Amino acid sequence: MKNEVDISKKCLLTLEEAAGYTGIGINKLRALSNDEHCTWVLWNGTRRMIKRSKLEAYLDTAVARI
């Protein structure tokens, strides 16, 4: 039996998990996280992990600017 953690309780998400969690496409998340000033991505070698709480904060401010 696999131990699975609810996405809302994880601190780091894969691109696929972040896309499912936010409803934003994988390609859009990849493009946003390619920015060198992106504070919500953690690189583990070539694998990018999304910091869930920082992504949520970024989306809150991005939506407020619209």
Q: Find the CATH number of the domain harbouring 25.
A: 3.90.105.50
Domain count, the chain: 1
Residue 52's pLDDT is 96
Which contacts of 53-58 are long-range, i.e. CB under 8 A and separated by 24 or more positions? Answer: 53/11, 55/13, 55/18, 55/22
Q: How confident is the model over 8-47, as pLDDT tens digits? A: 899 999 999 999 999 999 999 999 999 989 999 999 999 9
- Please answer whether residues 60 and 22 qualify as being in contact, where contact means their C-beta atoms are separated by less than 8 angstroms: no
Whether 17 is covered by a domain: the verdict is yes
Whether 26 is covered by a domain: the verdict is yes
Reported confidence tier of residue 1, pLDDT bands at 50, 70, 90? low
Using only the alpha carbons of the chain, give its radius of gyration: 12
Residue 66's pLDDT is 58
DSSP symbol at 8: G
Predicted confidence (pLDDT) at residue 64 exceeds the cutoff of 80? no
Whether 60 is covered by a domain: the verdict is yes
